[in-house]
A and B are shown apart, each in its own frame.
Chain A
């Protein structure tokens, strides 16, 4: 994933793997507006916990790849804004789903 020079990797921990999966499903359907300049790849950490038992399936991993630092900043900000909506919903509207 090294089409461009500017990269960022974010790891966002959630309380449960269910929440991380919801975040992934809520954000990943939307395509990027300028895919030749900015790519965003989301994944959820390995649920089996083979490498990291504590965080099994709980981490949303976001890897960004951009043509310039400005494009990276704008793109990452956009992702964080979307993430903010998801987190707000999880915090205030979720069932008591433990």
Chain B
């Protein structure tokens, strides 16, 4: 009977360790993939999540996170998180097939600090290294968890805003932000309002928005397949600062405009823009499924608005919970393991991180559709 390591990879279960640190979330995940069944018609069994641990660097209200401090946070916690992940999974280094890490896109110093840990672990345990594109991690984890087989993907986070559709071994970008990400717009407005960053500024804006009653008209900036957020942010910052300096605004019914109203108005506007460009992509591609991934994908109002549009078209919206939409290590382990199973490896000299890493740069060797 051949030993575990001798069988070709696709005939035995494989396990990957994944490290994520492109922004202020440090994530470590361990995932197991099962072999494809003998008959092509049977679906592959679902992946098994053995550990998914995250530690977030949270700054005081009114402050964003800077690369240097974020990198310091990641350096301080990465070893502990890997230890915890191994303990949770009950595995030893022997059981791991490959070490996956986020190679980009993201913030330089934080990415590099996690890459160094990944390289070290890969060499200590003598396991191959696999560099992963952060966006691909989100997409593949979303597909795995929701079972959406070929959706239009809306990837929305603090650092990215893209509408993506799969075609011929690439995740193609159909539309994107022309300036800042939607999550960045929300996070920065949270700073303007001095909203706490715990657990995340976006979550706290969502809580406030649910209590909003009056819609304040904001610029609406969809440009074809793309969106622009920086003008909306500048405008609403101006409205907020104007109110703070003693010029209250009133709604038509005479009630004063509150922070809750501003949060509500911002969400309604930017989410409507995202629904529009997603719908445009669905029409182009002829897809009825929408998969929302990325931290902003946790937002229930966005899911609701997208759901209304999708159902109007006879389709459905798919989303994951905060374990997977917020940056995490398991998605890196998952996407990395998919690549590893096709023979993909990252050499040390190719393991340098990159702040810009387009989603369509990755060859999706593991899909044959």
Contact = CB atoms under 8 A, between A and B. Distances in A.
Nearest to B350: A29
A85 B123 contact: no
Nearest to B109: A78
A79 B113 CA distance: 11
Interface residues of B, number: 24
B125 interface: yes
B119 A26 contact: yes
B33 to A, nearest CB: 23
Residue with the greatest number of chain B CB neighbours at <10 A, chosen from A29, A81, A95: A29
Interface string B263-303: 00000000000000000000000000000000000000000
Nearest to A33: B108
Contact of B72 (A81, A90, A91): A81
B147 interface: no
A11 interface: no
B51 to A, nearest CB: 14
A92 B123 contact: no
Q: Interface residues of B: mostly helix, strand, loop or mixed?
A: helix
A89 B352 CA distance: 19
B46 interface: no
B117 A89 contact: yes
Interface residues of A, number: 22
A29 B348 contact: yes
B79 interface: yes
B314 to A, nearest CB: 50
B85 to A, nearest CB: 11
Given A81-B72, A81-B75, A95-B125, A86 B120 contact: yes
A8 interface: no
Contact of A29 (B71, B93, B119, B121): B119
B78 interface: yes
A23 B121 CA distance: 11
B40 interface: no
B69 to A, nearest CB: 12
Contacts, number: 66
B135 to A, nearest CB: 22
Nearest to B92: A95
A93 interface: yes
A85 B78 CA distance: 8
Contact of B83 (A29, A90, A92, A97): A92
A6 to B, nearest CB: 22
Interface string A29-54: 11100000000000000000000000
B124 interface: yes
Contact of B120 (A26, A81, A97): A26
B112 A30 contact: yes
A85 B83 contact: no
Nearest to B113: A85
Contacts of A94: 124
Nearest to A95: B93
A85 B124 contact: no
B251 to A, nearest CB: 50
Interface in B113-172: 113, 115-117, 119-121, 123-125
A89 B75 contact: no
Contacts of B79: 85, 88-89, 91-93
Contact of A85 (B120, B125, B349, B351): B120
Contacts of A22: 120, 123-124
Contacts of A93: 79, 82-83, 93, 121, 124
B116 A27 contact: yes
A27 B117 CA distance: 10
Interface of A: 22-23, 25-27, 29-31, 81-82, 84-86, 88-95, 97
Given A25-B119, A81-B113, A95-B125, 10 more contacts: A29-B349, A30-B112, A85-B78, A85-B117, A85-B120, A86-B116, A88-B79, A89-B124, A90-B124, A92-B83
Q: Sorted from nearest, which 3 A-B pairs have the closest CB atoms?
A: A89-B120, A26-B119, A88-B79
